[in-house]
Amino acid sequence: MGVEICVEGLTKSFGHQVIWQDVSLTLPAGQVSVMLGPSGTGKSVFLKTLVGLLKPDRGSVKVAGRDVTMLREHELYEVRKLFGVLFQDGALFGSMNLYDNIAFPLREHTRKSESQIRHIVLEKMDMVGLIGSEGKLPGEISGGMRKRAGLARALVLDPEIILFDEPDSGLDPVRVAYLNQLIVDLNAQIDATFLIVTHDIASARQVPDNIGLLFRRELVMFGPREKLLTSDEPVVRQFLNGRMQGPIGMAEEKDAAQVERELARLGDGAHARTPGSQALTPRLLPGPGITRPPRWEAIARREAELHREEVADA
Ligand SMILES: Nc1ncnc2c1ncn2[C@@H]1O[C@H](COP(=O)(O)OP(=O)(O)OP(=O)(O)O)[C@@H](O)[C@H]1O
């Protein structure tokens, strides 16, 4: 069913550089959450802190009730088994074929026989659409296939939580669409808790239950997708609309007067529009052939309702 991750008052700095401070959020069990943020706001550092690879200065990260920040190395090892991580480049071993790459965690962390391993590896390769590529080396396949191989490897230990570090980076829009569908299908099939770090706004609009945004060393917002997508918070709106006008600058933050001028020029000041008047992108649903658990049935019903309301309003 996936487990909840409860983050409270988390602060991380490297030397004098504060990366983010006082971050509190709960990733609900079994749900899909996305973390957005301009480059360098510490999204990868956040993922690493969740799995205990980096120690925060303050705060707690409770996974299945245990505080990752307080655990000793051998206890951390146990908690890490709950996690599957998809790294940016798939993090595959270049000299091993896909089969051996995907089998690696099973051979390292379990005492399963080779025939049991074969069954699991082929099942996960099937889930990510890689059957037939078992003998290929990572260097012989496309970036999209490498991501899917990394995902299959993240799945072999049946994780309760999957962390995706920019799964869409380096992929063309069509491959990103396939990968998003795969993520949604997987969530319906394995029911784990997902956290996706991404820059891709289209994905953030369609895929998750919850969205968070890191900016100016803080978690600006974290909450249900609808709340973020209809938010009037200038940072959230600038980021979700991928615009230059707003508080986020190229290399540093802009001063308040400049932001005010830019938003006024856009006719987009806080007073210039009714709150919550942003369009809601339809939610991506599990594809045909995927059995939907009750959670996804409820999401599909809600989407159908919203769509009926939109048609009636038009
Ligand atoms: N081990 C480390 N030691 C010192 N500084 C670090 C370390 N890891 C990350 N940083 C710094 O923390 C900041 C945040 O880095 P991080 O990679 O988490 O950002 P990000 O939001 O994931 O960026 P991007 O979207 O560009 O991938 C950067 O300034 C980076 O240089």
212 Cβ inside 6 Å of ligand 1: no
**pLDDT by residue (tens digit) across 164-205?**
998 888 778 888 888 899 899 999 998 899 999 988 888 888
Nearest to 24 by CA among 205, 223, 241: 223
Q: Where are the alpha helices (DSSP H) in the chain?
A: 43-50, 73-80, 98-109, 114-127, 143-155, 173-190, 201-206, 225-229, 234-241, 256-265, 294-313
Cα of 299 to ligand 1 centre, how many Å? 35
125-153 average pLDDT score:
89
Nearest CA to ligand 1 atom 1: 14
pTM: predicted TM-score of the whole model, two decimal places: 0.86
Q: What is the ipTM of this complex?
A: 0.96
Residue 25: Cβ within 10 Å count: 20
CA neighbours closer than 13 Å in the CB half-sphere of residue 225? 21
Of 183, 203, 198, 193, nearest to 36 (Cα)? 198
Mean pLDDT for the chain overall? 86
List the residue whose alpha carbon is closest to atom 2 of ligand 1.
Answer: 14
Using the predicted structure, report yes or no on whether residue 252 has a pLDDT greater than 80: no
For residue 250, pLDDT beyond 70: no
User: What's the CA gap between 134 and 150, in Å, rounded?
Assistant: 13
Q: What is the mean pLDDT of residues 52-79?
A: 92
Stretch 125-154: mean pLDDT, rounded? 89
- pLDDT grade, residue 215 (50/70/90)? confident
- CA-to-CA distance for 106 and 114, rounded, in angstroms? 10
